[in-house]
Structure 1
Amino acid sequence: MTPSERPVRSPCVNVCALDDDDVCTGCQRTVAEITRWSRMDNEERRSVLALCHERAKSSGLVWMLPARR
């Protein structure tokens, strides 16, 4: 992280409940991702956020609209 770069914020929404796969139903992070978050650099945090987004799409929590033509 460069000195001027701010830390990537946690996706936590204070809805902390794990599903059967140990993924938080609020933020879509795994237990391992949650516990490691404070030790991750921004690049790793962005990668985790991308995984969270994919998990949310797969579970139907995020709907993707078709691209405008």
Structure 2
Amino acid sequence: MHPRLRSFIGTIIIIFLVVAYAVLATSFATAALAQQPWWVHLAYFVISGVLWILPAMLVIKWMAGAKQPK
């Protein structure tokens, strides 16, 4: 696959991933953490704010592709 096409597809996937993850994380927090103290909200959003990086790293590695021999 051409590197520019791979980058374009990966960018679209990452944008979708971030939007979907934000909606899901916020919906869960609204439903499950409504009566919790502020520090539980803080811990949840710190952890969930970092976890989206894991699937994004996989997409970025795919976007980089295999190194071509010189």
Q: For the superposition of Structure 1 and Structure 2, which TM-score range results when normalised by the shorter chain?
A: 0.3 to 0.5
Larger Rg: 2
Query: What TM-score comes out, normalization by structure 2 length?
Result: 0.38
Query: What TM-score comes out, normalization by structure 1 length?
Result: 0.38
Choose between structure 1 and 2 for higher RCO, CA contacts under 8 A separated by at least 6 residues: 2
